[in-house]
Structure formats: structure tokens, C-alpha cells
Amino acid sequence: ENYAVSNYIAEFWNTLTNAAMILLAALGIYSSIRYRHGKRVTAMYVGMLVVGCGSACFHATLKYTTQLLDELPMLYLCAIALYSFIEIDKKVQFGVWLPTSLAAFQLTITLTYLFWVQNPIFHQIAFAATAIGAAVVGCNRLYTTNMSSGTRRALFRLHLLGHLGMWGGFLAWNIDNVFCHNLRSYRGYVGTPLDALLQLHGWWHILTAYGSAFLLLWAHLLRLARLGHDNLYSAQYFMGVFPYVGMKQPKKID
């Protein structure tokens, strides 16, 4: 169904739905810069923004070069998250060798994928290894950080919502792959505009965008808790649907 909606966009709905990730990432960048929460936090949201833009470019063009923009930034985002968890404290512990080592590792993966092992399975294994590393270190930081019970409950909710988004999106992606022809028939039957609701790859984009946003908010608030500032900030919602880290409203005293 390429160029079915627009003569200029190959997969219209798969391109459009990346707006969710772009908007959520932009909101995170704004929040982290506004409250001066550090370059490490901002870098995670920038990584998410690049993932969303790269995915939009790929689905708009379906070219191999833009496919790389869709795939490789996911690795880099996980590497940034891994670094942010390791260096979660205000004082840098490992100097320049840690970011240099992580950058060299990601560069090795990138060059290997570009020139030697052009197999999606290699990319998936590298992504999974980096993501698991970030998750393990992040959970370790969670259990070794002193925080209030309210903050711990808030972090639990964010972590849960993040995984629900990611696994829900993964389920939608797999259903779309397995039942692609059936879904195409159903979309033809219901017609425009209801056919957009059956674009499950688009739902994969939306759900993983929210899953990624909630997990980055989890990492964001965890760092604030580590620095002892979790009493000042919380997860909030812009227009009721876009989550971000904002400053808590002071309680009124009558």
C-alpha cells in the first residue's frame, strides 16, 4: 500500500505516527533544559528524538540509507541510557574512558552492520545486549538509591507503563506481520478514515513512543532521586496526554 495516501510519502500512516515519539522527545528535551537537569538527561531525550525522526524518514522514503536511520539510533539511545545509569551521580566516576569505550563499541557495531554482517538479527542482538545492560544497571541504581515511598511508587508506575507500552507495541507489530494480508482486506472493507485504526504498524510506533517516554521519565526521575531532588519534581501530563517531568506545585497553607 505504498503511496496510497500521498504521492510524496511512501507509507503515510507509518510516517505520521512517528510524530508521537518526536513530540514526546521534544517535551523531554524542553523539560530537562528548563530545569537544568543535566546534559546526560537531555542526551537521552535527544536520542529518542533522533529515533523518531529516523523512523519517519525511513517510512516516508523506504530507502536503505534511511532504514539505517531507523535502526542504528536505537542502539545509540540505549548506549546513552547505559552511560547515564552508570554515571547517575553528580560527580563523574569513570572520566572520559567510559563514554569513549561505549562510543567505540557502538562504532564497531555500526561498521560491522554496514560492511560485513548486513543481517537484521545481528542488529537485534546488539540492540538487545545494550538494552539489557542499561536495564540491569538502571535496576541496580533503583535498589541502591534512598528515596521516599511516594517516589518509589511513582517510579514503579512509570516502569510498568513503559513496559506495557513497549510490549503492547511489540504485540501490535507481530500481529501486523503475521496477519498483514487479512488486515489489508479489512482496511479496504471499512474504508477511509476508519482504515487508519487498523494500521497496526502505526500503533507499534505510538505505543513504543509512549513506552520509551515512560522509561526515560523513569530514568529522569531516578537520577533526581539519586541527587535528592525527587521531592521537587514529578511526572506530569501536558494537555493530559503527553508525559514529562515537571516541578511540583507548592501546597497551599490556609
Among the ranges given (95-104, 160-169, 193-202), the one the predictor scored with the smallest mean pLDDT: 193-202
Q: Is the pLDDT of residue 156 over 90?
A: yes
- Give the dihedral of Cα atoms 110, 164, 162, 149; nearest 10 deg: -150
- Helix (DSSP H) and strand (DSSP E) numbers for the chain: 9, 2
Q: Which residue has the higher pLDDT, 217 or 182?
A: 217
* pLDDT value at residue 48: 98
Residue 188 confidence class, pLDDT cut points 50, 70, 90: confident
Q: Please state, in angstroms and as integers, the Cα–Cα distance from residue 33 to each residue in 41, 45, 65, 210, 236, following that order.
A: 9, 11, 31, 20, 16
4 has pLDDT over 80: yes
Average pLDDT over residues 36-64: 96
Compute CA distances 46 → 1, 114, 196, 241, 249, whole Å.
31, 23, 29, 20, 27
Average confidence (pLDDT) over 124-148: 94
Peptide bond into 250 cis (omega under 30): no
Decide if pLDDT at 101 tops 70. Answer: yes
Q: What integer pLDDT is reported at residue 118 of this predicted model? A: 87
- Global pTM? 0.93
* pLDDT score of 184: 86
pLDDT at 250 over 70: no
